C-alpha cells in the first residue's frame, strides 16, 4: 500500500511539473522522429539530451543551433545522423543503431519549463534486411516508379529525398513537389506523386537522375507515438546511343554550319564578280617604220 502511494505521488509530481513520456520503437537502419508537439517561438529554448548528455539545442531566436559534436566536442556518437527541425524543435535520428536505444529528454525553457521523456528502443535486424535497397534501371527518356510497397494510412507523413535534398512529401491527402530551387531546376515538373500509395514517378528520365532515393514514412500511433520507417532505392539511368550530344550542342553545330555556308557563298559571289569586271589582258604589237 505504501509503495502504491509513492508511485501515485511520483506520477502526480511528474505531471504537475510538465513532464510526460512516450514509448518509441523502430528497427535498426530506420529513422525515428521525436516530436515536441509544438512550434517554436523567439521566447523558447529547446534542448535534447541522451542519458544526460546534450545532443541538440536550438535557441528561440535561432542565434544558436547545434547537434551532436557541435554541442559537445568529442562526442561523435551520431556522426551527422541527427536532424533538428527549426520550426518545431523536433529531433530526427536517421540510420538508427541498437546503441541509440535509451532515454531521450526534451527540455523546453521559456516563461515556464516543460520536459518530455522518450524511451527509444531500436531492434536489431539482419545484415540482409539492413542493406536492402531496391534497384531500378531504365533507359534515358523512360519513366521509373519508386513504390514503397506499404499500405499508406490517412495520417502518414511520407517525405521523399534524392541524396540529401527533399524533393516531395505527402501529408494526408495533400502533396508537395519540389519546394526548393535546387529540386525545381533538376527535375522541372518531371515528378509525379500517387497520394494513395505514396509512390513517386520520375518521367522523361535523364542520366543526372541516377543516384540514391529514399522515402521516410512517419506514422502516428497510440499515445501520440511516432514511428518512422525508411525505404531506399538506387536508380540507374542509362544513356541511349546517339543521345550523348545535347540539344544546345546540336543547335551550336547547326549555327556554325550556316555561318560557314554563308561565308562560302559570299566568297563565291565576290570571286565571280571579280572575274567579270576585270579587263582581259590585250596583246599589243607596235610597228616601227
Q: Which of 156-170, 186-200, 219-233 has the lowest mean pLDDT?
A: 219-233
Best-predicted range by mean pLDDT (42-46, 202-206, 229-233, 239-243) = 202-206
Q: pLDDT value at position 9?
A: 44
Q: pLDDT value at position 106?
A: 93
3-state secondary structure (DSSP) of residue 209: helix
Q: pLDDT value at position 242?
A: 66
Closest CA to 197 of 150, 233, 159: 150
Banded model confidence at residue 42, pLDDT cuts 50, 70, 90 = low
Whether pLDDT at 63 is above 50: yes
Residue indicated by cell numbers 556518437: 77
Task: Sort strands 19-27 and 113-123 into parallel, antiparallel or unpaired.
Answer: parallel
Give the separation between CA 101 and CA 123, rounded to whole angstroms: 9
Banded model confidence at residue 1, pLDDT cuts 50, 70, 90 = very low
Question: What does the pLDDT look like over 124-158, one tens digit per residue?
Answer: 766 655 557 788 889 999 999 999 887 777 778 88
Give the separation between CA 270 and CA 282, rounded to whole angstroms: 24
Q: pLDDT value at position 48?
A: 92
Render 95-153 in DSSP notation, one character per residue: S--GGG-EEEEEEEESSSEEEEEEEEEEE---HHHHT--EEEEEETT--EEE---SPPP
Give the separation between CA 205 and CA 144, rounded to whole angstroms: 8
Q: pLDDT value at position 4?
A: 46
Give the separation between CA 250 and CA 42, rounded to whole angstroms: 55
Task: Sort strands 82-84 and 91-93 into parallel, antiparallel or unpaired.
Answer: antiparallel
Give the separation between CA 67 and CA 91, rounded to whole angstroms: 10
Give the separation between CA 209 and CA 140, rounded to whole angstroms: 9
Amino acid at each position: 500500500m505504501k509503495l502504491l502511494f509513492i508511485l501515485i505521488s511520483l506520477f502526480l509530481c511528474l505531471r504537475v511539473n510538465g513532464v510526460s513520456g512516450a514509448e518509441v520503437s523502430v528497427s535498426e537502419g530506420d529513422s525515428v522522429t521525436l516530436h515536441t508537439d509544438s512550434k517554436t517561438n523567439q521566447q523558447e529554448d529547446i534542448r535534447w539530451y541522451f542519458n544526460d548528455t546534450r545532443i541538440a539545442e536550438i535557441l528561440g531566436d535561432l542565434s544558436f543551433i547545434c547537434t551532436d559534436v557541435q554541442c559537445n566536442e568529442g562526442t561523435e556518437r551520431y556522426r551527422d545522423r541527427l536532424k533538428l527541425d527549426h520550426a518545431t524543435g523536433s529531433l530526427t535520428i536517421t540510420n538508427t543503431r541498437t546503441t541509440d536505444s535509451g532515454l531521450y529528454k526534451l527540455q523546453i525553457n521559456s516563461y515556464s519549463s516543460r520536459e518530455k521523456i522518450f524511451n527509444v528502443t531500436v531492434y536489431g535486424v539482419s545484415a540482409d534486411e539492413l542493406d536492402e535497397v531496391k534497384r531500378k534501371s531504365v533507359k534515358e527518356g523512360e519513366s521509373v516508379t519508386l513504390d514503397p510497397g506499404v499500405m499508406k494510412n490517412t495520417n502518414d507523413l511520407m517525405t521523399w529525398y534524392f541524396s540529401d535534398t527533399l524533393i516531395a512529401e505527402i501529408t494526408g491527402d495533400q502533396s508537395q513537389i519540389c519546394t526548393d530551387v535546387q529540386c525545381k531546376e533538376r527535375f522541372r515538373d518531371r515528378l509525379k506523386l500517387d497520394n494513395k500509395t505514396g509512390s513517386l514517378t520520375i518521367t522523361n528520365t535523364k542520366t543526372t537522375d541516377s543516384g540514391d532515393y529514399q522515402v521516410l514514412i512517419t506514422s502516428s500511433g497510440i499515445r501520440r507515438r511516432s514511428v518512422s520507417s525508411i525505404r531506399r532505392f538506387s536508380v540507374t539511368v542509362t544513356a541511349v546511343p546517339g543521345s550523348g550530344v545535347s540539344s544546345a550542342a546540336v543547335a551550336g553545330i547547326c549555327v556554325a554550319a550556316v555561318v560557314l555556308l554563308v561565308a562560302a557563298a559570299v566568297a563565291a559571289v565576290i570571286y565571280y564578280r571579280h572575274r567579270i569586271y576585270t579587263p582581259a589582258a590585250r596583246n599589243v604589237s607596235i610597228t616601227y617604220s
